[in-house]
Amino acid sequence: MSGVGGSLGGVLIHADADAFFVSVEQRDAPHLRDRPVRNLVAIRDGVDDATIRLPGPRRSISSTRSLGRATRRRSVVEQSLRDNVLRALGRLGDDPRSPTRLDVHLRYDDQHALVQAGALAEPTRDPTVLVGAALAALGRTAYEEDGRGVAMVGVTFALPSPAADAG
Protein backbone atom coordinates (compact mmCIF):
# COMPACT_ATOMS: atom_id res chain seq x y z
CA MET A 1 0.00 0.00 0.00
CA SER A 2 1.46 3.34 -0.99
CA GLY A 3 1.53 6.24 1.43
CA VAL A 4 1.57 4.37 4.75
CA GLY A 5 3.81 6.03 7.31
CA GLY A 6 4.49 6.25 11.02
CA SER A 7 6.53 8.33 13.41
CA LEU A 8 9.36 7.06 15.61
CA GLY A 9 10.64 9.82 17.86
CA GLY A 10 11.00 12.48 15.19
CA VAL A 11 11.96 10.07 12.41
CA LEU A 12 9.36 9.61 9.71
CA ILE A 13 9.20 6.21 8.09
CA HIS A 14 7.18 6.19 4.91
CA ALA A 15 6.69 3.30 2.50
CA ASP A 16 5.94 4.85 -0.88
CA ALA A 17 6.28 1.83 -3.15
CA ASP A 18 5.68 3.70 -6.42
CA ALA A 19 7.49 6.92 -5.33
CA PHE A 20 4.43 9.04 -6.09
CA PHE A 21 4.44 10.83 -2.75
CA VAL A 22 8.19 11.37 -2.95
CA SER A 23 7.89 13.07 -6.34
CA VAL A 24 5.01 15.28 -5.13
CA GLU A 25 6.92 16.23 -1.97
CA GLN A 26 10.05 17.07 -3.95
CA ARG A 27 7.99 19.17 -6.37
CA ASP A 28 6.30 21.10 -3.52
CA ALA A 29 9.40 21.37 -1.33
CA PRO A 30 12.49 21.76 -3.54
CA HIS A 31 14.82 21.82 -0.49
CA LEU A 32 14.06 18.07 -0.08
CA ARG A 33 15.34 17.14 -3.54
CA ASP A 34 18.83 16.28 -2.31
CA ARG A 35 17.63 14.34 0.75
CA PRO A 36 18.06 10.55 0.73
CA VAL A 37 15.03 8.42 -0.07
CA ARG A 38 15.08 4.67 0.58
CA ASN A 39 14.02 2.53 -2.34
CA LEU A 40 12.17 -0.63 -1.27
CA VAL A 41 13.22 -2.52 -4.39
CA ALA A 42 16.88 -1.71 -3.68
CA ILE A 43 16.45 -2.87 -0.08
CA ARG A 44 14.79 -6.12 -1.24
CA ASP A 45 17.55 -6.77 -3.77
CA GLY A 46 20.29 -6.15 -1.20
CA VAL A 47 21.66 -3.04 -2.93
CA ASP A 48 20.56 -0.75 -0.05
CA ASP A 49 20.78 -2.24 3.45
CA ALA A 50 18.39 0.31 5.02
CA THR A 51 20.50 0.73 8.15
CA ILE A 52 18.87 2.96 10.75
CA ARG A 53 21.21 4.38 13.36
CA LEU A 54 19.77 5.09 16.79
CA PRO A 55 21.34 7.43 19.34
CA GLY A 56 23.43 5.87 22.07
CA PRO A 57 25.64 2.80 22.12
CA ARG A 58 24.40 -0.26 20.31
CA ARG A 59 23.48 -3.35 22.28
CA SER A 60 23.75 -5.50 19.18
CA ILE A 61 24.57 -5.34 15.52
CA SER A 62 23.10 -7.45 12.77
CA SER A 63 22.96 -8.19 9.09
CA THR A 64 20.24 -10.03 7.19
CA ARG A 65 19.67 -10.72 3.55
CA SER A 66 16.84 -12.15 1.54
CA LEU A 67 17.89 -15.08 -0.63
CA GLY A 68 15.52 -14.03 -3.39
CA ARG A 69 14.18 -17.51 -4.06
CA ALA A 70 13.74 -19.81 -1.06
CA THR A 71 16.23 -22.67 -1.01
CA ARG A 72 17.50 -25.58 1.06
CA ARG A 73 20.83 -25.67 -0.77
CA ARG A 74 23.54 -25.76 1.85
CA SER A 75 26.07 -23.82 -0.26
CA VAL A 76 23.68 -20.90 -0.83
CA VAL A 77 22.49 -20.66 2.78
CA GLU A 78 25.99 -21.02 4.23
CA GLN A 79 27.49 -18.43 1.85
CA SER A 80 24.77 -15.95 2.73
CA LEU A 81 25.44 -16.53 6.43
CA ARG A 82 29.21 -16.04 5.93
CA ASP A 83 28.53 -12.80 4.04
CA ASN A 84 26.22 -11.60 6.83
CA VAL A 85 28.81 -12.35 9.53
CA LEU A 86 31.44 -10.33 7.65
CA ARG A 87 28.98 -7.51 6.93
CA ALA A 88 27.93 -7.29 10.61
CA LEU A 89 31.58 -7.37 11.66
CA GLY A 90 32.31 -4.51 9.25
CA ARG A 91 29.43 -2.51 10.71
CA LEU A 92 31.19 -2.50 14.08
CA GLY A 93 33.57 0.05 12.57
CA ASP A 94 35.51 1.95 15.23
CA ASP A 95 33.45 0.52 18.10
CA PRO A 96 36.05 -1.12 20.39
CA ARG A 97 33.63 -3.74 21.75
CA SER A 98 33.70 -7.36 20.59
CA PRO A 99 30.67 -9.62 20.18
CA THR A 100 29.93 -11.74 23.24
CA ARG A 101 27.25 -13.94 21.62
CA LEU A 102 25.69 -14.43 18.22
CA ASP A 103 22.28 -15.49 16.98
CA VAL A 104 21.51 -16.95 13.55
CA HIS A 105 18.17 -15.92 12.05
CA LEU A 106 16.27 -17.87 9.41
CA ARG A 107 12.96 -17.08 7.77
CA TYR A 108 11.31 -19.84 5.80
CA ASP A 109 9.22 -19.61 2.66
CA ASP A 110 6.06 -20.02 4.81
CA GLN A 111 7.12 -16.88 6.78
CA HIS A 112 7.94 -18.80 9.99
CA ALA A 113 11.10 -17.53 11.63
CA LEU A 114 13.72 -19.24 13.74
CA VAL A 115 16.51 -17.84 15.91
CA GLN A 116 19.33 -20.18 16.94
CA ALA A 117 21.88 -19.04 19.55
CA GLY A 118 25.56 -19.48 18.79
CA ALA A 119 28.06 -19.75 21.63
CA LEU A 120 31.30 -17.81 21.78
CA ALA A 121 33.92 -18.98 24.30
CA GLU A 122 35.01 -15.36 24.75
CA PRO A 123 34.35 -11.98 23.14
CA THR A 124 36.03 -11.87 19.73
CA ARG A 125 36.23 -10.08 16.39
CA ASP A 126 38.04 -12.95 14.73
CA PRO A 127 36.11 -13.59 11.49
CA THR A 128 37.10 -17.29 11.45
CA VAL A 129 35.74 -17.84 14.96
CA LEU A 130 32.54 -15.87 14.27
CA VAL A 131 31.84 -17.65 10.97
CA GLY A 132 32.53 -21.01 12.62
CA ALA A 133 30.14 -20.28 15.50
CA ALA A 134 27.47 -19.05 13.07
CA LEU A 135 27.78 -22.14 10.87
CA ALA A 136 27.60 -24.40 13.94
CA ALA A 137 24.39 -22.62 15.04
CA LEU A 138 23.01 -22.95 11.50
CA GLY A 139 23.69 -26.69 11.60
CA ARG A 140 21.61 -27.00 14.78
CA THR A 141 18.56 -25.57 12.99
CA ALA A 142 18.20 -28.72 10.82
CA TYR A 143 16.96 -26.47 8.00
CA GLU A 144 17.97 -28.99 5.32
CA GLU A 145 15.74 -31.74 6.71
CA ASP A 146 12.85 -29.43 7.53
CA GLY A 147 11.21 -29.52 4.08
CA ARG A 148 10.71 -25.76 3.85
CA GLY A 149 12.88 -23.42 1.83
CA VAL A 150 15.00 -20.75 3.53
CA ALA A 151 14.02 -17.28 2.29
CA MET A 152 16.15 -15.07 4.58
CA VAL A 153 19.39 -15.57 6.52
CA GLY A 154 20.83 -13.25 9.13
CA VAL A 155 23.11 -12.91 12.12
CA THR A 156 23.04 -10.72 15.23
CA PHE A 157 26.05 -10.05 17.46
CA ALA A 158 25.34 -9.17 21.09
CA LEU A 159 27.66 -6.44 22.35
CA PRO A 160 28.65 -5.72 25.96
CA SER A 161 27.58 -2.44 27.49
CA PRO A 162 30.25 0.26 27.09
CA ALA A 163 30.68 0.46 30.87
CA ALA A 164 31.34 -3.28 31.12
CA ASP A 165 33.93 -3.18 28.34
CA ALA A 166 35.67 -0.02 29.63
CA GLY A 167 36.58 -1.54 33.01
Query: Residue-wise over 79-113: b if at least 16 C-beta within 10 A, else e?
Result: ebbbbbbebbbeebeeeebbbbbbbbbbbbeeeee
Domains and CATH numbers, the chain: 4-37 (no CATH), 60-166 (3.30.1490.100)
CA distance 159 to 22: 37
Q: pTM here?
A: 0.66
| Residue 53 DSSP label | P
Q: Which residue has the higher pLDDT, 68 or 20?
A: 68
Greater confidence (42 vs 165) lies with 42
The mean pLDDT value for 155-164 works out to 85
What's the pLDDT tens digit per position in 21-35? 666 666 776 766 666
Q: Which of 1-10, 92-101, 129-138, 151-160 has the lowest mean pLDDT?
A: 1-10
